[in-house]
Amino acid sequence: MANRTVPRVLAFWFVLALAVTLAWPKEAIRMTGAELYANYCASCHGPKGEGDGPDKAKSKRPPSDLTRMAERNGGKFSRERVVAVLSDPEAYVVTGMPSGRFFFSGLGDSPVKQKMIYRRLADFIETLQKPAEPPPPPASPGKDEGSPPRRP
């Protein structure tokens, strides 16, 4: 009797773990962009998107500062670029960042649902954008800032 109990208990826990693993991403379909970000991105990119999350050291490369995406793109935020990176299955090879397909594969083979999640994330990441740093003021003509004032 005991010989059959152990495999049954193990099988039960395996099936339960598998069911939970396959079911949890379905909740993602109901999440806002902020909730998706907090659950799936903030651990590496940080709560404000500055690349300073507690798991940043686990990445192959330091996580991107998501607050400067528009600045790095000539002042224009590209939702399409965010969606493309999230849906790229090769992202992990290059950046160490798991693809959105990894996180949301439990939604099945529904590219429509996955794109909807990626767009929500992109919309939220757009809210994290910081204004571009203003350029330094130009030096006054005829003044050399590194030397003392000239005496007549």
Model confidence over 56-110: pLDDT tens digits? 888 778 899 999 999 999 999 999 999 988 888 787 777 777 777 777 776 666 7
Two tokens, residue 44: 């590496």
Q: What angle separates helix 111-127 from helix 79-87, to the nearest 10 degrees?
A: 130
Compute, in degrees rounded to 10, the torsion defined by CA atoms 71, 76, 81, 86: 60
Categorize the per-residue pLDDT at 124 as very low, low, confident or very high, splitting at 50, 70 and 90.
very high
Rounded alpha-carbon distances, angstroms, from residue 79 to 16, 123, 126, 133: 37, 7, 8, 21
Q: What value does the mean pLDDT of the chain take?
A: 79
**Between 77 and 14, where is the model more confident?**
77
Return the pLDDT at 120: 94
Return the pLDDT at 37: 94
Domain ranges of the chain: 28-127
Protein fold of 28-127: Cytochrome Bc1 Complex; Chain D, domain 2 (1.10.760)
